[in-house]
Chains A and B, each alone.
Chain A
């Protein structure tokens, strides 16, 4: 085996570690050993492993609430991460953070941020500190595509560019799991932008049938509607009494096949919530 093959094998081993870890998390969640929200990284292993292998130990990492994979790829011990999710004192955040707030400052892993987009300004600041201190370091910040809807995403890109800061922004296309509402219902797609604006205009009326409905369908080619997607449970299922009494808002729900509730369709879980 040559060096390149050994490198590839090592990357694959890390990806496999993440997959096995996440599968174990899903089982432990079903067994009610892990509580709170649990966002799994299945299917994205290559993003963390590939990008993280380009970072040096002195570089900083800022991650999202779906960050088990980032933490493992960064080298946090799986035992410390699992202990954190069990709420134990030997967890990587002494049991204060849980699944969404894994931290290991010694590895410059600044965590798990559970407000979508909230880690981006922080990453800009970490990079600013390095620049002011004359340190040749990079700050890598991970985010899902939902974060691009937040103002902080745009503000952070502007500030990082304005101050010429070494921030590596790593976004990934998710489109379905940030909230329950499909991307097409949250954003205007580029392909159908003119029709969206002008369903009542002469131009739109001259093209009968090509109005907003069709722009929606062009987007849904990328993002299937709920009815087209396999659903782990009935659409618009009412909140269970237990969830209500726990104060869990309905944003915990997600009908995506990979985002399932405890006890349902654990074959391919991506997010599990305490319902």
Chain B
């Protein structure tokens, strides 16, 4: 029983159903109704420093490619590559040091000197000090990705219960989790997977365990449709520092990318303000300034809309993946912060492997110890 019909829950259901398990997915809302539907769909290696998250991301990047081959062009998979740019020579040096560490960990990164930036992005602001090109960065349309993974899971036999809220977890002998109670009925299950994203802490509490998932708000701006003027995912060097920051205050670094529909997405702010949905003028203003600093032509482009989402954030910025030793029968697959779309397939695969007790992929095995759900206890 997977709780959550976002992209992570969809991937868990997909790999579990394909491994022959009998699977059901339950969500209080529709498909992709939470953070998935508010994501930009980044599949990134470029922003990850060597360590456990990068190891996950490397496997996941391969899995996304496989999924795109298998399911077809239905979720707008684009292996378009990322371009990280530096405003000044010191920034370029910092990027180079970061890229060197990533290369040692198996990431492909090419230095792009200032004079060659225009070959990659003809409309970039003049005067940048240089950048790095990450050809393995890619993008999907996250809501479509979740919906089509779920559809494939359903074809493999999974059941889908939308608009049904989990109100309690059922327990069997010895306190093991054995299903869910909903606002309509009881559903028994051999195991329950908590893929409730930003709301994963609430599901954990139903089992009497603590998982400190907090919301980290982000705004994204969407422009009018344009011809393809931004080719890569382009962002400024300070993005990486923002992602890793633990600060609650508003942070933002321009991340600009085109989409197949012609709109340009401009992300992304990071703020810890709880579940406050109020539109924030300072946040939108800062995004706009940073986007215009990267691509001056954007200043005269019209922004059609903005949206916000709440990233599921854990204190060490790593997700919780796997069985919870404090609550037998309960597995967690949440807390991916801003990387949930990218890390969804590997998360689903790891969960399915734990559930079946066997390897389901030829990819290099990932050490799951850093993602143990009880590591904050």
Partners in one complex: no
